[in-house]
């Protein structure tokens, strides 16, 4: 398997200076593959789907331009309702 990665121009020269780039990238990808396998084993598909969807919801809230105060008000309202039911 080979991968082509387009680097931003400001990185290119600096990355060229790395002597064992291939080994380092391989080690990083091995680490990430381990992380991904662990993640798949640990969390249910449903939890992962909702986590993904929460990203879209966060983007939608962000687009509404709500201030930090309002976000915290909503957070605590939901948090209190959830923790009371636990």
Partner 1 sequence: MPACRAVLDTNVVLAAQRATNPASPNREILDRWKLGEFALLYSADIINEYGEKLLEHGFSENDVRSYLALVRLLGERVDIAFFRLRRYPGDADDIAFVLCALNGNATHLDAVCGQAVAAPETVREYRMLLYGTGEHKGLDEAGRPLRRGFSAQQIQAVLERKGRLTRWQMLRCRVRYFSDGAALGTRAFINEIFAARREHFGAKRTSGARPLRGVDATGLFTMRDLRVDAIG
For partner 1, the binding residues (CB under 8 A) are 28, 31-32, 34-35, 38-39, 42-44, 46-48, 50-51, 53-55, 57-58, 61-62, 68, 71-72, 74-76, 78-86
Query: What is the nearest approach in angstroms of partner 1 to the Cβ of residue 20?
Result: 17
Residue with tokens 């331009």: 65
Closest contact distance (angstroms) between CB of 24 and partner 1 is 12
Q: How many CA atoms lie within 13 A of 59 on its CB side?
A: 6
State the nearest-atom distance from the C-beta of 85 to partner 1, in Å.
Answer: 7
* Helical spans, DSSP H, in 1-86: 9-16, 21-42, 45-63, 68-85
């Amino acid at each position: 398997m080979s991968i082509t990665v387009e680097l931003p121009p400001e990185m290119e020269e600096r990355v060229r200076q790395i002597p064992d780039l291939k080994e380092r990238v391989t080690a990083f990808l091995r680490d990430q593959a381990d992380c991904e396998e662990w993640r798949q084993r640990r969390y249910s598909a449903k939890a992962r789907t909702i986590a993904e969807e929460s990203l879209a919801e966060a983007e939608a809230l962000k687009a509404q331009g709500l201030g930090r105060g309002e976000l915290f008000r909503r957070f605590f309202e939901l948090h209190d309702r959830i923790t009371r039911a636990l």
